[in-house]
Amino acid sequence: MADGDTANRMWGGRFTSGPDAIMEEINASIAYDRKLYAQDIAGSQAHATMLAAQGIISAEDAEAIRSGLDQIRSEIEAGSFVFKRSLEDIHMNVEARLAELIGPAAGRLHTARSRNDQVALDFRLYVRDTLDHLDAQVKGLMLALAEKALAHAATVMPGFTHLQSAQPVTFGHHLLAYVEMLARDRGRLADARKRANECPLGAAALAGTSFPIDRHMTATALGFDRPTANSLDSVSDRDYALEALADASILAMHLSRLAEEIVIWSTAQFRFVRLSDAFSTGSSIMPQKRNPDAAELVRAKIGRIAGAFQGLLMVMKGLPLSYQKDMQEDKEQVFDALANCSLAIAAMTGMVRDMTANAAAMKAAAGSGYATATDLADWLVRELGLPFREAHHVTGRVVALAAEKGINLEDLSIEELQGVHPGITEAAYAVLGVDNSVRSRTSYGGTAPQNVTDQATRWLKALG
């Protein structure tokens, strides 16, 4: 049968000729929704099994349908399946091939369903599968960070506010901050999956069906918690895709923040970390350059991922119930955004495992910028009983003196310190070193090396 004849049959008796080239161009989705083949086949097999169990089709027809769909899956995975643009989408391509394989029995598969609930099912299954994949990837990244944090629980580095040296922290503590962020990301992914895990199959076009179907049976067969409760909402809902994109956007933002830090840390000015050739590139004219291109590309992914979220939000914002063809614009951006989120996680996991820390450079930087000034203020409060505001003022004068002389706080003589405040004793020098500073931060969630060791160990055990 010619493609034009096939198209005529697909459109049915309402149309006497196939769509012209422009209509075919705007209407066809097979170029990208073929990605849903596994979900489409799984949904059709569950539907056929249910139809037979309910006596709506014969057991023989159901078996022929399941067997034919197995063959189609094998053909697609082997690359021998011929996708036809004239058949619009993955659903009609599969159904047409099924008819070639098993004959008239293929026509019984579409009993008690519509392409509306079929595509809603396929897309939900795809999003659910992708959420599971992203969750596993994020877990792997958290493990990589926790392992690196444990190895550097006592490696001192500067902590920053406003990208200015603030107080010393440890490299392990810094990395564990991202573990906490990613844990929240996993929580969001799990929440999104829970809300997505309702089965729209059986809602048909928009109003349900008069056939005695068992929607709970198909929902269970496909691993859903329950069938969706309203047929109109079932075919018009894309919240699960929006939520997946929103969660992926927050996740990508976290990856971008870490990527930016890796870019900064790997500069010649910082020299905090080094990436191997596996995650760096050279310059075409400057032989000394090592560019952190992988980190820069991860940093950029947030643009297309957050853009996809905004794009789908705009598609959905003005749609009346129920299904509208506008919703065909959901898939490309979701496929692209979630695939790029997955790639960014994989690249970041590789960089975290690959990067080596320059502990000497980190420690030297931690001691610059008078980063232990707060420790001196705390000492004045703790040892001399000064109100913190007064201690802050005294410490400010000590910092000004050190800056005037161009030296670090610990290089000031005791006479110079006592010239600012006579109560200062030699014991104050103990808090001016960066190692003592981080060891003193023992409050829960603080940067003390033992805290970091405990938290990293806890995460490694939890992620095990």
**Kind plus residue range of the DSSP H or E element containing 356:** strand 356-357
| Catalytic (active site) residue 283 | yes
Using alpha carbons only, what angle is made at residue 292 by residues 287 and 293, rounded to the nearest 5 degrees? 100
SS3 state at 15: coil
Contact 52, 61 (CB under 8 A): yes
Nearest residue to 150 (alpha-carbon basis) of 463, 453, 458, 462 = 453
Alpha carbon distance 145, 139 (integer Å) = 10
Annotated catalytic residue: which of 58, 74, 276, 283?
283
Residue 320 is classified by DSSP as P
- Sign, CA dihedral 106-107-109-114, equals positive
Q: Which residues contact 7 (CB under 8 A, 6 or more apart)?
A: 18, 19, 86, 87
Using alpha carbons only, what angle is made at residue 133 by residues 131 and 139, rounded to the nearest 5 degrees? 100
Residue 246 main-chain phi, psi, to 5 deg: -65, -45
E-only strand ranges, 195-340: 198-199, 226-227, 273-274
Alpha carbon distance 190, 167 (integer Å) = 36
| Catalytic (active site) residue 162 | yes
SS (H, E, C) 121-171: HHHHHHHHHHHHHHHHHHHHHHHHHHHHHHHCCCCEEEEEECCEEEEEEEH
Annotated catalytic residue: which of 162, 210, 284, 413?
162
Measured distance between the N- and C-terminal CA atoms of the chain, rounded to whole angstroms:
57
**Kind plus residue range of the DSSP H or E element containing 357:** strand 356-357
Using alpha carbons only, what angle is made at residue 281 by residues 279 and 286, rounded to the nearest 5 degrees? 150
Q: Which residues are catalytic, by number? A: 162, 283
